[in-house]
Amino acid sequence: MTYESDVVIIGAGISCAMLAQKLSELRPGVSIHVVEAGRSIFDFENRHKYRTRMMHYNENPWPGDFIEGQFAAGGISHTMAVGGQALHWGGVCNRFSQEDLRLKSRYGLYVDWPIEWAELEKFYSEAERRLGVSGEPSPFPEDQRSEPYPMKAMPLTWSLARLKEWGDKSGIPFQGTPQAKNTAPYDGRSACQRCGTCDICPTGARYSPDFTFKKLVAEKKITLHDRTLIRKLALDGAKKRVVEARGVDASGGEVEYRAKTFVVASGYTWSSHLLLLSDVANRSGQVGKFMNGHAFIQAFIELDQEILPNMNTQYGLISRQFFRCPAKDSYVRHDLRIWDSARPGPQLKNASGRVMLGDEIVKDWQSRSGRGMARVRAYYDVHPAENSELTLDASTKNKWGDPMPKIVDRRNAAAQALYEPTKAHIQGVFERLAANDHGKILRVIEGNYLDHPAGGCRMGADPAASVCDSFGRTHDHENLFVVGAPTLPHAGCTNGTLTFVALTLRSAGEIARA
Partner 1 sequence: MKRRNFFERVLLGAAALFAPRWARAQQMDQSMRELASVVLPGSLGRARIEQIAGDFLVWIRDYRAGAEIASGYGHPRTQVTGANPSEHYAGQLSALGSPVSREAVERAIAAAKVDRIPQRPNGRHVATDLLAFFFNSSEGEDFLYDAKIRRDDCRGLGDSAKRPEKFL
Other Cβ atoms closer than 10 A to 413: 9
Specify which residues 229 forms β-bridges with. Answer: 248
345 touches partner 1 by CB under 8 A: yes
Residue 221 CA from chain centroid, whole number: 26
Are 189 and 213 in contact by the 8 Å Cβ rule? The answer is no
Which of 155, 173, 463, 509 forms a contact with partner 1 (CB under 8 A)? 155
- Classified as helix, coil or strand, 236 is coil
Which of 11, 13, 38, 75 forms a contact with partner 1 (CB under 8 A)? 75
Residue type, 509: G
**Residue (266 or 474) nearer to partner 1, CB:** 266
Which of 3, 27, 31, 78 forms a contact with partner 1 (CB under 8 A)? 78
Which of 240, 349, 438, 440 forms a contact with partner 1 (CB under 8 A)? 349
Q: Among the candidate windows 66-74, 97-105, 321-329, 331-339, which touches partner 1 by CB under 8 A?
A: 66-74
The distance in angstroms from the start CA to the end CA of the chain is 26
Q: Among the candidate windows 114-122, 275-283, 358-366, 381-389, which touches partner 1 by CB under 8 A?
A: 358-366
Helix locations, 61-173, DSSP H: 98-101, 103-107, 117-131, 158-169
Burial 293-314 (b: 16+ CB within 10 A, else e): bbbbbbbbbbbebebeeeebbb
232-291 residues near partner 1, rule: CB under 8 A? none
- Classified as helix, coil or strand, 124 is helix
Are 213 and 17 in contact by the 8 Å Cβ rule? The answer is yes
195 touches partner 1 by CB under 8 A: yes
68 touches partner 1 by CB under 8 A: yes
Which of 21, 183, 271, 391 forms a contact with partner 1 (CB under 8 A)? 183
CB of 434 to partner 1, least distance (A): 22
Contacts 24+ apart (CB under 8 A), 235-241: 235/280, 235/477, 239/476, 239/477, 240/477, 240/478, 241/477, 241/478, 241/479, 241/480
Which of 54, 172, 248, 325 forms a contact with partner 1 (CB under 8 A)? 54
309 touches partner 1 by CB under 8 A: yes
Are 295 and 426 in contact by the 8 Å Cβ rule? The answer is no
Find all residues with CB under 8 Å of 405, minimum gap 6, and list them.
72, 73, 75, 269, 270, 272, 273, 276, 390, 391, 392, 393
Q: What are phi and psi of 424, to 5 degrees?
A: -65, -40
355 touches partner 1 by CB under 8 A: yes
Which of 2, 105, 193, 330 forms a contact with partner 1 (CB under 8 A)? 193
Q: Among the candidate windows 255-263, 349-357, 462-470, 477-485, which touches partner 1 by CB under 8 A?
A: 349-357
56 touches partner 1 by CB under 8 A: yes
CB of 382 to partner 1, least distance (A): 17
| Residue ranges with strand state E in 398-466 | 403-408, 440-446, 451-456
CB of 439 to partner 1, least distance (A): 20
Choose among 375, 303, 321: nearest CA to 173. 321
Specify which residues 264 forms β-bridges with. Answer: 10, 482
CB of 404 to partner 1, least distance (A): 11
Choose among 13, 82, 83: nearest CA to 227. 82
Are 404 and 396 in contact by the 8 Å Cβ rule? The answer is yes
Which of 451, 463, 510, 514 forms a contact with partner 1 (CB under 8 A)? 451
Which of 1, 26, 250, 348 forms a contact with partner 1 (CB under 8 A)? 348
CB of 140 to partner 1, least distance (A): 25
397 touches partner 1 by CB under 8 A: no
Q: Among the candidate windows 113-121, 310-318, 378-386, 393-401, which touches partner 1 by CB under 8 A?
A: 310-318
CB of 468 to partner 1, least distance (A): 26
Which of 161, 250, 442, 464 forms a contact with partner 1 (CB under 8 A)? 161
63 touches partner 1 by CB under 8 A: yes
350 touches partner 1 by CB under 8 A: no
Are 300 and 441 in contact by the 8 Å Cβ rule? The answer is yes
**Residue (97 or 341) nearer to partner 1, CB:** 341
**Cα–Cα distance for residue pair 480/495, rounded to 1 Å:** 27
Q: Among the candidate windows 153-161, 221-229, 319-327, 418-426, which touches partner 1 by CB under 8 A?
A: 153-161
**Residue (49 or 440) nearer to partner 1, CB:** 49
495: left (phi over 0), alpha (psi -120 to 50) or beta: beta
**Cα–Cα distance for residue pair 46/87, rounded to 1 Å:** 14
Q: How many residues line the site for partner 1 (CB under 8 A)?
A: 62
71 touches partner 1 by CB under 8 A: yes
421-450 residues near partner 1, rule: CB under 8 A? 449
**Cα–Cα distance for residue pair 136/271, rounded to 1 Å:** 34
Q: Among the candidate windows 28-36, 157-165, 317-325, 497-505, which touches partner 1 by CB under 8 A?
A: 157-165
Residue type, 318: I
Binding site for partner 1 (CB under 8 A): 53-61, 63-64, 66, 68, 71-78, 88, 154-158, 161, 183, 191-196, 199, 202-203, 306, 308-313, 342, 345-349, 355, 357-359, 361-362, 365-366, 369, 449, 451
